[in-house]
Every structure is written in structure tokens, then in C-alpha cells.
Amino acid sequence: LYKEYLTGFTYYKVSNLDNRIANPDQLLTQDVDKFAHSLAELYSNVSKPLLDIAIYSRKLAQNVGGLWAPG
């Protein structure tokens, strides 16, 4: 992402020729930080509960009997 931003005259054009965006490098850094934080939240909000359900179901099937119960 930064490679594309710093290639050619993109940085110069955004910083000096376009006054609509103030501090484009800071905004880019903040957006990347927000994206990484959201991606980390995705694990705890979606993946972990699904993993917990699968583990709980397996243990329940072993204790009570079911599809995953051994022999």
C-alpha cells in the first residue's frame, strides 16, 4: 500500500496539488491501523465462538454418544 503511495509523484500530488486531503500519510496510517484492528476483532467475534462450539460438541458427543463418539 505504501509502495503504491510513494511510487511516482503520487505523494507529491496528494500532498501539494490537492488541498482537499490534509495529512494524507497520517490518514493512510490510521486506516491501516483500523483495518488491522478490525481484522483482529473478527477472530474473537466469529472464529473463536465457532471453534468453541465445535470443541464443546465433540466433548459432549464423547461423553453422551453421537456422531463423533469413538467406537
The pLDDT value given to residue 22: 78
Residue 1: is its pLDDT beyond 70? no
How many angstroms separate the CA atoms of 45 and 51, rounded? 11
Compute the C-alpha angle 56/41/43, nearest 5°: 35
Cell of 11: 505523494
Give residue-wise pLDDT tens across range 6-33. Answer: 677 666 667 766 677 777 778 788 888 9
The pLDDT value given to residue 37: 93
Give residue-wise pLDDT tens across range 47-60. Answer: 888 999 999 988 88
